[in-house]
Amino acid sequence: MAQFTDDELLAYVDERFSTDFCAVVEHSLRRNSSLCERLATLLSLRDHGDFSVGELWRQYRLSCPPRAVWAAYIEKRLGDGLSQYLQFHVETIGCRVCSANIDDLKRQDTSTEAERRTRKFFQSSAGNL
Ligand SMILES: [Zn+2]
């Protein structure tokens, strides 16, 4: 039987990790009533304001960039450092909220490549000259 930390159980509830990880937790919860009781206790503590700084950080998704940053990421308008962080955030950590944001932004971006290049030009410093 898989062992989970308190943080991993709460991450399952908050859907902060990949669907594969959440499936493993769910499978364990279905077979282990003491694990369900432990999760219920954790949720009760959290609902009654027993927060750590880390819990507040995760609950309010402070490490998740705003949607405008993801739009810039998709259009490759960001520097290497920030782009690498964002890639790590969605690909390694597997943030499902940000992945959904990216998917949504990609669906909305129906402009042609020429329109995107023009917009990119005017958003750069060259467009301000
Ligand atoms: Zn995120």
Segments making up each domain of the chain, as ranges: 6-59, 67-122
CA 95 to ligand 1 center in whole angstroms: 5
Q: What is the pLDDT of residue 27?
A: 94
Report d(CA 11, CA 15) in Å as an integer: 6
Compute the CA torsion angle 92, 96, 101, 104 (nearest 10 deg): 110
25 CA → ligand 1 middle, Å:
20
CA of 98 to the centre of ligand 1 (A): 4
What is the reported pLDDT for 21? 86
**CA of residue 90 to ligand 1 center, whole Å:** 7
Whole-number pLDDT of residue 116: 66
Output the CA–CA distances (angstroms, integers) from residue 33 to 6, 39, 95, in the order listed: 16, 10, 28
Q: Please give the chain's pLDDT, 129 residues, in tens.
A: 579 999 899 888 888 888 888 899 999 999 999 999 999 999 888 877 766 777 777 777 788 999 999 999 999 999 999 999 999 999 988 888 899 999 999 988 666 666 667 767 766 665 555
Cα gap 43→78, rounded to integer Å: 38
- The CA 33 to ligand 1 mean position distance, Å, reads 30
Question: What does the pLDDT read at residue 70?
Answer: 95
What's the CA gap between 100 and 90, in Å, rounded?
Answer: 10
